[in-house]
Amino acid sequence: MREFVYYSKNARTSGNFKDLMKAGRIDIVCNVIIQAFFLSNKTREDMHLHLIFDGPPNPPMHFEIISNPDLPISKKDVAGLIKRMLYKQRDGEKKQIFPGCFIEKKSLSKLIDELKSKGKHVCVLDKKGEKLRNADLKDCVFVIGDHEGLPKKLIKEYKKQAISIGPPVYFASQTFIIINNELDLRE
Ligand SMILES: C[S@@+](CC[C@H](N)C(=O)[O-])C[C@H]1O[C@@H](n2cnc3c(N)ncnc32)[C@H](O)[C@@H]1O
């Protein structure tokens, strides 16, 4: 499985939102999910995506979406999936809301510690990092920030393992396309 973490500092942590942009840029989250999972004529079968929302009113929230044949994502209603997961979330438990779709309260740092304890190599996406093309991507979990970027503390801590996809600053959703393409080529 390809494993990615997307961190959003302000994404709303309750389902009662209408305007995706005003809900802490959930429009960007929707683009990320589409670019992570969709190809032209099918969905990827090897994607494990974590989303951390750190916005009000109930942060931090951890979503986990894992490829499977019954994954209920429609490109037309990605926001609906997020809303339904938020509405059905219960504090103190990890709930599977749909096949392969889990939600629980968990912070970015706790998630990263858990991934490390499972043997994952934490690769933060940062334009000052090592070139993607030259990097060893074995067991990498790719950590990507929203329009405001990743927490500075995290970038500092994982500076030596940072990966750059090139000199421009790309949209978060574009980083998913570029990394997925590199992994496709290597396979
Ligand atoms: C729109 S960018 C964030 C821009 C934000 N103002 C900043 O300076 O961090 C969203 C995320 O995409 C990733 N990203 C964008 N361009 C990149 C690049 N050239 N190399 C590696 N990661 C990149 C980073 O993880 C970043 O947090």
Q: Cα of 91 to ligand 1 centre, how many Å?
A: 31
Closest ligand 1 atom number to CA of residue 168:
19
Q: Cα of 171 to ligand 1 centre, how many Å?
A: 7
> Does residue 144 carry a pLDDT above 90?
yes
Q: Domain-by-domain residue ranges, the chain?
A: 2-186
**Exposure string over 48-77, b if 16+ CB within 10 A, otherwise e:** bbbbbbbbeeebbbbbbbbbeeebebeeee
Q: Which two tokens stand for residue 41?
A: 């004529």
Give the span between the Cα atoms of 180 and 186, in whole angstroms: 10
For the chain, the farthest-separated pair of C-alpha atoms sits apart, in whole angstroms, at: 44
> Is the full-model pTM beyond 0.85?
yes
Q: Would you state the pLDDT for residue 72?
A: 85
Q: Cα of 173 to ligand 1 centre, how many Å?
A: 10
pLDDT tens sequence across 3-32: 999 999 999 999 999 999 999 999 999 999
Q: Cα of 178 to ligand 1 centre, how many Å?
A: 12
CATH topology of domain 2-186: Alpha/beta knot (3.40.1280)
Q: Which two tokens stand for residue 155?
A: 């970038």
pLDDT tens sequence across 39-78: 998 999 999 999 999 999 999 999 999 999 998 888 888 9
Mean pLDDT (the chain) is: 96
Please name the helix (run of DSSP H) or strand (run of DSSP E) that holds residue 143, with its range, or none: strand 140-145
147 lines ligand 1 (CB under 6 A): yes
Q: How many helices (H) and strands (E) does the chain have?
A: 5, 8
What 3-state DSSP class applies to 87? helix
Q: Is 161 exposed, middle or buried (0-12, 13-18, 19+ CB in 10 A)?
A: middle
Q: Would you state the pLDDT for residue 74?
A: 85
